[in-house]
Amino acid sequence: MSSPIVLQWAVKQGLSVPAADKSAKCPGDVVSRLCKSDNSNCRQEINDGGFTCHCSKGYDGNPYIADGCQDIDECNIPSIRQSCLGGYCNNLPGHYECRCPRGTHGNASEPQGCVTNSATDIAERMIIPLDELAKATDNFNKAREIGGGGHGTVYKGILLDLNVVAIKKSKITLQKEIDEFINEVAILSQINHKNVVKLFGCCLETEVPLLVYEFIPNGTLDQHLHIEEPKRSLSWSNRLRIATEISTSLAYLHSSVSIPIIHRDIKSANILLDATMTSKISDFGASRYIPVDNKGLTTRIQGTFGYLDPECFNTGRLNEKSDVYSFGVILVELLTRKKPTCSHLSNEYGGLVPHFLNLLASRNLDQIMDPQVLEEGGTEVQQVVTLAASCINIRGEERPTMRQVELALEGLQQGSNKKYKKNDMVAEEFENRSIGGNYPSRTSEGQRVQESSRRYSLEQEMMMSARYPR
């Protein structure tokens, strides 16, 4: 039979040992010589007058060596973590606290003790302390980098409320960058839509402000669409679904928010895909509110070559139809798997859009269509082609609204879903490989497409050969 032994000891040798008193405090010279670790304290034992060192409350380890006492993470103790009934446990040096989730306030130790903040608290809710972001990213460790470029770096992190986030840290302190930061916070703080990336908040404690978004793990539509052969790209059913989701979010921005918004830089690289491949629009730095009179506004040209509305470029007038044009380019991109920014298409044909319209008018569209779309798609492919052509009409007033586009795509997707099994990545084989042959030029729809193409041909050299500024 064995029993535990408790060894009690104290240090006397080499130390001056005054008579012990009830306070049990150690002389200053003893503390400095004996207790080497921060967050430790010294005690004189009453029984024999010797001295012992102990880690402070909330710390554990060896107080006799430098940095020997380390913080105890109380939030890893189940009983303490579970005591935060209405919120979450937040570890602090030497202790902990129960916090309400971001956007709420109250008593986090009580069930349902945290209530939603009022509208006046929104600004405070959006501010995230720098120390929290530093902790979330392991002090902005290079191993946490998930993207970046000339404008800055994006880090992956976990906030105290356990939300996984992407933290955008800009490098440049130009006024233009600051203006875009303010613009993005102002717009995204008012948007709540499943197909728009969520902004959790920002940090204003650094020279260049930091933006904190929800973390979207699956990259961009551009990355998934333009993969190298022989890998198969996104299935046609997924492309149609993604197009519908993008149109839904743009229709929401144009007509459902209190002050309508023009995104101004819609492109496949700004469409993020989450863990379930649901699309989310990102990058609102260039966005603008639509004037109340809905007549558009005059602004400096901004956008991405290949996606930029030629009418806006030519006149400087911006309205929601500029987003419609950019979305139409994405539809063409989904149909052809060709990049609108491809220099080969720009040099030889004036760009992807004019090449697409010219082939459509001559009923030779199968020359540019993605073979995978021809293989997997059905009759709805023809209707998406027609819809794309209407969106990229050279005349903005003849383009549909995003609400009309949304309704059209939702109808097509519902019809498509009847043919495809849920989660099935391969569709029925498309029976008619020649899409161009299904557009007789004598129909009214065909005439409109041909007229649009002819107008485009007259103006494309002037407008599409330009290198639009970002």
Q: How many helices and strands (H and E) does the chain possess? A: 15, 19
User: In DSSP terms, which residues pair with 153 in a beta bridge?
Assistant: 148, 169
| 169 among annotated binding-site residues | yes
Which of these is catalytic: 29, 73, 161, 265?
265
DSSP-assigned letter for residue 116: E
- Strand pairing class (152-158; 114-116): unpaired
203 in Cβ contact with 289 (< 8 Å): no
Tokens 């935060």, residue located: 84
Using CA atoms, how far apart are residues 69 and 59, in angstroms rounded to an integer?
6
Query: Which residues does 309 contact at the CB level (< 8 Å), separation at least 6?
Result: 303, 321, 322, 325, 326, 396
What is the biggest distance separating any 2 CA atoms in the chain, rounded to whole angstroms? 112
Rounded (5°) CA angle 240-244-249: 150
In this structure, the number of other CB atoms found within 10 A of the CB of residue 16 comes to 8
71 assigned to active site: no
Using CA atoms, how far apart are residues 186 and 194, in angstroms rounded to an integer?
18
- In Å, how far from its chain's centre is CA 382? 32
Using CA atoms, how far apart are residues 207 and 154, in angstroms rounded to an integer?
16
First-to-last C-alpha distance (Å) of the chain:
80
CA distances, 197 to each of 106, 124, 192, 201 (Å): 28, 20, 9, 12
Tokens 């997997």, residue located: 376
3-state secondary structure (DSSP) of residue 378: coil
Q: Which positions are annotated as active-site residues?
A: 265
Binding residues: 169
Binding residues for ATP: 169
